Amino acid sequence: MIESSIYYMIKKHLKSDPAYVDYVELFLETTFQTELGQLVDLLTAPEGDVNLERFSLKKHQLIVIWKTAYYSFYLPVALAMLFVGIKDEKLFEQAKQILLPLGEYFQVQDDYLDCFGTHEQIGKIGTDIVDGKCSWCVNIALSLATPEQKTILEDNYGRKDATAEARIKELYAELELPRRYQEYEQSSYERLNALIDAIPEVQGGLKRDLFRSFLSKIYKRSK
């Protein structure tokens, strides 16, 4: 119903807009991308069937870009660009090269806070461990774990049991995930700033300050 309402509202308010078809195509494309991401997520971590062999950092990146980054970060900016009359495909591609990594960084923050954030911080109780999600935390742990530590992950991850969840969090601490996350956050911040600085500020082009404002809003966020 909500998805159908999108196209109803576009037709009602923007049918005479020169970019009307572009609006519709952008929403159709983004919906398809998001559903693909949801499908990969479901196939990787189906409810009640935890198999860590299906997990990888590459799979995690694919899921978060398609499931989260396109609709959360690229879609709003692309819509605004269409609304002000921008047609140059190179500018849309330029925006995408920054906004998709920004969305990936945002989702990694979510994954980390789900495990290490407090209820007061994030307004909920994290469930990625007990739900067996293909999160950044478990993929980093899998990439670092010894055979014995992988056995602990296999025996406890995805179990709806407080003791098993606590054991996973202990293992995350042993593998220094908080420090590794801080390193990831800093390197992501520097990489995104470099991408923003590379934008050529010319007449009719993208503005660096727009992307800097997005980055500043999420850098080191705690909720």
**Model confidence over 130-144: pLDDT tens digits?**
999 999 999 999 999
Please give the structure tokens belonging to residue 71.
Answer: 């609709």
What are the φ and ψ backbone dihedral angles of 57, each rounded to 5 degrees?
Answer: -65, -35
- Average the pLDDT over 108-125 and give the result: 92
> pLDDT at position 124, please?
87
Q: What are the tens digits of pLDDT across the range 151-160? A: 999 999 999 9
Q: Is the predicted pLDDT of residue 45 greater than 90, yes or no? A: yes
Q: How confident is the model at residue 72 (pLDDT cuts 50, 70, 90)?
A: very high
**Does the pLDDT value for residue 210 go beyond 90?**
yes
pLDDT for the residue 207 = 95
CATH code, domain with 183: 1.10.600.10
pLDDT over threshold 90, residue 91: yes
How many domains is the chain built from?
1
Residue 88, Cβ neighbours under 10 Å: how many?
A: 12
Q: Is residue 165 part of a domain?
A: yes
User: Cβ distance 140 to 180 under 8 Å?
Assistant: yes
pLDDT band at 119 (very low <50, low <70, confident <90, very high): confident
pLDDT tier for residue 83 given thresholds of 50, 70 and 90? very high
SS3 160: coil
What is the torsion angle, in degrees rounded to the nearest 10, for the CA atoms of residue 222, residue 133, residue 35 and residue 72? 10
Give the separation between CA 36 and CA 40, rounded to whole angstroms.
6
Using CA atoms, how far apart are residues 21 and 119, in angstroms rounded to an integer? 43
In a domain, 96, yes or no: yes
Tell me the pLDDT tens digit for each residue of 10-41: 999 999 999 999 999 999 999 999 999 999 99
What is the average pLDDT value for the chain, to the nearest integer? 96
Instruction: Say whether pTM exceeds 0.85.
Output: yes
Has residue 95 been placed in a domain? Answer: yes
The answer to whether 68 and 107 have CB atoms below 8 angstroms apart is yes
DSSP state of 48: T
Cα-Cα-Cα-Cα torsion 208, 209, 212, 214, nearest 10 degrees, comes to -110
In a domain, 223, yes or no: no
Phi/psi region, residue 206 (left: phi>0; alpha: psi -120 to 50; beta: rest), is: beta
Q: For residue 140, what are the domain limits? A: 2-218
- For residue 203, name the pLDDT band (cuts at 50, 70, 90): confident
Residue 68, pLDDT > 90, answer: yes
pLDDT at 201: 87
Domain contains 212:
yes
Q: Pick the closest to residue 171 from 196, 195, 151 (CA basis).
A: 151
52-56 contacts at long range (C-beta below 8 A, 24 or more positions apart): 52/138, 52/142, 52/150, 52/153, 52/154, 52/157, 54/134, 55/134, 55/138, 55/139, 55/142, 56/139, 56/142
What is the distance in angstroms between the CA of the first residue and the CA of the last residue of the chain?
30
Q: Is residue 75 a part of any domain in this protein?
A: yes
What does the pLDDT average to over 189-201? 96
Tokens for 121? Answer: 């911080």
Q: What is the mean pLDDT of residues 45-64?
A: 96
Q: How confident is the model at residue 204 (pLDDT cuts 50, 70, 90)?
A: confident
Q: Residue 190: its pLDDT value, please?
A: 98
| In a domain? residue 208 | yes
Phi-psi region of 35 (alpha: psi -120 to 50; beta: other; left: phi over 0): alpha
